[in-house]
Structure 1
């Protein structure tokens, strides 16, 4: 691939993708993503809305003309949000507009940055079509994947699933680092369960690899595990040993929080975060690992992240 267009290039993940592509000598074209809203709840709803957006598709097609690959990194990354119109428009309808525009100008490959959240609470994340939404955010991501797969084989579309992505500017990272450094830091049992937490630089590198590889990637690609356990994550971010919560007690509390999340949409995302901190989640090795791809930033990156976040917190507090 010699020319790549990136939607959402100035966003959290999009910036990392753009930087890695340019470091590889790729011609990168930043494309402004249109702001969309939608009340749709099914693929049929979205496809009907798509058929009425020829003007937008034509406009976006002109922006994407000449690209060998398009990366859609645009969207609303609010895991605890409840504004369905905003989430559905940005995370589900927009990807369909992008795919249709790619088809119009003959783009060969489209990479849609989805989320491992589409698989919900399943024991082991993988690169299958198995999906289970647990929140408004995850439902919007599931709807995008299902709808894109219905759109046909052109362009070749890759659903790229990053796991929990971290960087110094992200609020969820800052909250986790504060928790890890506090007396409330805790894990279920011995804390040896794997947890799918990744650095944004590594996500950028992985997407850049998928965008430029000569081999045709599979339709679903999962971001590889970075080797962290639940206790190890809190240890590296907080610099202290987390407390151990008996597994049975932790499981009952997570079950209660998940039930509350079914009654109140904003609680669902927080309940899932609690479950991830205590229990983590396993994942398969995946296509990138079989190709020999390795995250360019290792454990030292997590230590730098922790130092940066805690320094920013101290500055913000005036200490």
Structure 2
């Protein structure tokens, strides 16, 4: 049994991590994350100044802990750039790495996101970045700061990158279910393009698998769950037809929206989700695949999530992909 401090344990991903780690026999210690407000430029020049007052107390909370999992952060793809976004997704992970070093905690698993690679042709476990919105850029900065901390030998860091995560009660899942029922199901090509998505239970299981290994690489991607654009639509809207669109015209339209998306993050987020359903995105096999890790939840669990999702968007949400 390992004593694991889990930050963000009450959140969507954190709760799944807690359940999976507890089920694997670990002692899970929920810990509160700090709210940090940090300017991105200041963080790049003097990263530790913003959180110095928190370090000693946080390190004391890690006394006797054998590993730390960070599932805390701002997980809003349409978020606007702000000190709160940078503080949660970049400064906070670095503070945790420093606290781990001070408390002699040997391992830190940080839940990042596949969005740091943006429009890459194929997702992989490299440090190649292509973020397309402020949220992804803040997560990229967090990864880069942790990469440097790991290179300095202060703590063994693993950056775990799940793609779009679906599950019961998540607003994104509800909005996608509503979109599938109320709007034409469109894509480019035949719909057999792979699309990177994950079930929340599989995300928790992946984190538990990372900690079950004696060591893990710097970057671990979430395994491909087997969905194509067509199968994802069929899961949430069985029987509805798939409408093909001309690829060239769609690419030109999305390209025309890019300049506006640079200063309007919600538009950028919608366009990125549309790209995934129109063009798909492949991914390379990764470390978990090489270890013969098997996702515990398959298509029946996806069907349950789709059936349970209310087919209307939450108040204030518009149905988008």
* TM-score class normalised by the smaller sequence: over 0.9
Report SS of the residue matched to 2:108: strand
Per the alignment, residue 317 of structure 2 pairs with: none
Q: CA RMSD for the aligned pairs? A: 1.7
Verify the 8 A CA contact 2:43 2:91 in the aligned structure 1: no
3-state SS of paired residue (2:94): helix
- Report SS of the residue matched to 2:41: coil
Change (3 A) 1:165 1:55: same
1:221 matched residue in structure 2: 220
Any stretches of 5+ residues in structure 1 without a counterpart? 315-319
Aligned counterpart, 1:121: 119
Aligned pair count?
311
Q: How much has 1:188 moved relative to structure 2?
A: 1.2
Question: Quick one: distance in 2 between partners of 1:25 and 1:260?
Answer: 49
The TM-score normalised by the length of structure 1 is 0.93
Paired residues of 1:114 and 1:159 also in contact (CA < 8 A): yes
1:21 is matched with which residue? 21
Secondary structure, aligned partner of 1:165: strand
Quote how far apart the aligned CAs of 1:266 are.
2.9
CA distance in 2, matches of 1:126, 1:204: 20
Which residue does 1:142 correspond to in 2?
140
Deviation at 1:275, TM superposition (A): 0.5
Contact 2:90 2:141 in 1 (8 A): yes
Structure 1 position 166, deviation (Å): 0.8
Distance 1:268 1:52 in 2: 29
The answer to whether residue 249 in structure 2 is matched with residue 249 in structure 1 is: yes
> How far apart, in 2, do the equivalents of 1:52 and 1:186 lie?
46
Matches within 5 A, 1:165-184: 165-184=165-184
Residue correspondence of structure 1 range 1-319 to structure 2 within 5 A: 2-41=2-41, 44-45=44-45, 48-51=46-49, 53-151=51-149, 152-214=152-214, 216-239=215-238, 240-310=240-310
Alpha-carbon distance, 1:126 to partner: 0.3
CA distance in 1, matches of 2:261, 2:16: 32
In 2, the alpha carbon distance for the partners of 1:90 and 1:163 equals 19
C-alpha contact 1:231 1:241 (8 A) present in aligned 2: no
Aligned partners of 2:137 and 2:183: how far apart in 1?
34
> What is the TM-score with the length of structure 2 in the denominator?
0.92
Contact 2:236 2:306 in 1 (8 A): yes
**Aligned residue for 1:317?**
none
Which whole-Å CA distance do the structure 2 matches of 1:52 and 1:116 have between them? 27
Question: Helix, strand or coil for the counterpart of 1:310?
Answer: coil
CA contact (8 A) 1:160 1:221 kept: yes
Deviation sequence 1:103-145 (CA, Å, 0-9, x none) = 0011111001111111110100000010012100011011011
CA distance in 2, matches of 1:311, 1:245: 25
Is this contact kept in 1: 2:117–2:130, CA < 8 A?
A: yes
Which deviations, in whole Å up to 9, do the C-alpha atoms of 1:167-200 show, x marking residues without a partner?
Answer: 1221111111111123422111211100001101
* In 1, Cα distance between equivalents of 2:50 and 2:230: 50
CA distance in 1, matches of 2:142, 2:58: 18
Once the two structures are overlaid, the 10-residue window that deviates more, 235-244 or 255-264, is 255-264
- 1:246 CA displacement: 2.2
Q: CA deviation at 1:75?
A: 0.1
Closer, same or farther in 2 for the Cα pair 1:117/1:311, shift >3 Å?
closer
